[in-house]
Amino acid sequence: MNKSEFVAAVAENMGSTKADAARAVEAILLTVKNTLKAKVSLRLIGFGTFKVTHVEAKTVRNPQNGSLVKVPAAFRPKFVPGKELKEIVNKK
Residue 14: per-residue pLDDT: 95
**Average confidence score pLDDT of the chain:** 96
Topology annotation, domain 40-92:
HU Protein; Chain A (4.10.520)
Nearest CA to 20 among 10, 28, 29, 30?
A: 10
Domain with CATH 4.10.520.10 in the chain: 40-92
Per-residue confidence at 40, pLDDT binned at 50, 70, 90? very high
What's the pLDDT at 59? 96
Q: What is the pLDDT of residue 8?
A: 97
Q: Which class for 82: exposed (0-12), middle (13-18), buried (19 or more C-beta within 10 A)?
A: middle
pTM, whole model, 2 decimals?
0.81
16: three-class secondary structure by DSSP: coil
Question: pLDDT band at residue 92, thresholds of 50, 70 and 90?
Answer: confident
> For 54, which DSSP code?
E
pLDDT band at 13 (very low <50, low <70, confident <90, very high): very high
Q: What pLDDT, on a 0 to 100 scale, did the predictor assign at position 76?
A: 97
Q: Which amino acid is residue 67, in one-letter code?
A: S
Strands 68-71 and 48-55: unpaired
